């Protein structure tokens, strides 16, 4: 999987080009396009057509319908803020990686029951940041985390230095890419 997962919100389709070209120019070949806007499905489709060499996934997927739409549009990974068994089931059927949001031992155990060993840790800053990840890694040494939410240039390196961190998610990648364009 890609190490950096920009959380992308597309309000209007032309932003797909603006944002994805900026990310690419900054060496980031991934975009998690969120189902927070009406055009999310179309944005994923367009992104997959125009940026076939990028890893395009769907974020903020909170139900089965959105998951089916995202996969039909071409998403190659699915991210949720929490854990949905329905979404996990659809992803499994399509053999697509699913990264559910898990911040408690019970949620991590639910993910493990579903065969998922990489989870989103969201909102990372609110749920204890790196200290919490380290504490959770003691009983769950098989689990990898994607800290997201409140991660920025100021704290990214400490997360990256921890070997249980599979990747970093965040909207700041988009902000930075657009600033450096």
Query: Any idea which residues carry the catalytic annotation?
Result: 32, 120
List the x/- string, 71-110, binding to ligand 3PG by CB under 6 A.
----------------------------------------
Contact call for residues 124 and 150 (beta carbons, < 8 A): yes
Q: How far is the CB of 40 from ligand 3PG (least distance, A)?
A: 13
Q: 23-62 mask for ligand 3PG (x: CB under 6 A)?
A: ------------------------------------xx--
Exposed/middle/buried for residue 15 (C-beta within 10 Å: 0-12, 13-18, 19+) = middle
Q: What is the total count of residues that contact ligand 3PG (CB under 6 A)?
A: 12
Residues 114-143 that bind ligand 3PG (CB under 6 A): 122
Please state, as a whole number, how many other Cβ atoms lie within 10 Å of the Cβ of residue 88: 22
Contact 78, 55 (CB under 8 A): no
The answer to the question of residue 172 lying near ligand 3PG (CB under 6 A) is yes
150 binds ligand 3PG (CB under 6 A): yes
Cα-based angle 33, 129, 91 (whole degrees, multiple of 5): 35
Least distance (Å) between residue 138 CB and ligand 3PG:
25
Residue in 148, 165, 167, 168 binding ligand 3PG, rule: CB under 6 A? 148
At 127, give phi and psi (nearest 5°): -95, 25
Are the C-beta atoms of 102 and 119 separated by less than 8 Å?
yes
CA distance 49 to 77: 16
- Per CB under 6 A, does 4 bind ligand 3PG? no
CA 129, CA 151: separation in Å to the nearest integer? 9
Query: Which span sits near ligand 3PG by CB under 6 A: 68-76, 105-113, 153-161, 168-176?
Result: 168-176
Residues that bind ligand 3PG (CB under 6 A): 7, 59-60, 122, 148-151, 169-172
């Amino acid at each position: 999987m890609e190490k950096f997962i920009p959380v992308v919100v597309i309000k209007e389709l032309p932003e797909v080009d603006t944002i994805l070209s900026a990310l690419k120019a900054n060496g980031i070949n991934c975009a998690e396009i969120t189902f927070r806007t009406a055009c999310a499905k179309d944005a994923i489709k367009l992104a997959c057509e125009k940026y076939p060499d990028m890893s395009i996934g769907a974020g903020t997927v909170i139900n089965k319908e959105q998951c089916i739409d995202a996969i039909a549009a071409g998403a190659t990974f699915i991210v949720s803020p929490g854990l949905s068994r329905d979404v996990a089931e659809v992803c499994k059927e399509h053999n697509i990686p699913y990264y559910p949001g898990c911040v408690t031992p019970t949620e991590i155990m639910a993910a493990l029951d579903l065969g998922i060993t990489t989870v989103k840790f969201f909102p990372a800053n609110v749920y204890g940041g790196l200290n919490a990840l380290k504490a959770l890694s003691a009983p769950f040494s098989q689990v990898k985390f994607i800290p997201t939410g409140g991660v920025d240039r100021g704290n990214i390196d400490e997360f990256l230095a921890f070997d249980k961190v599979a990747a970093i998610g965040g909207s700041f990648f988009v902000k930075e890419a657009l600033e450096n364009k």
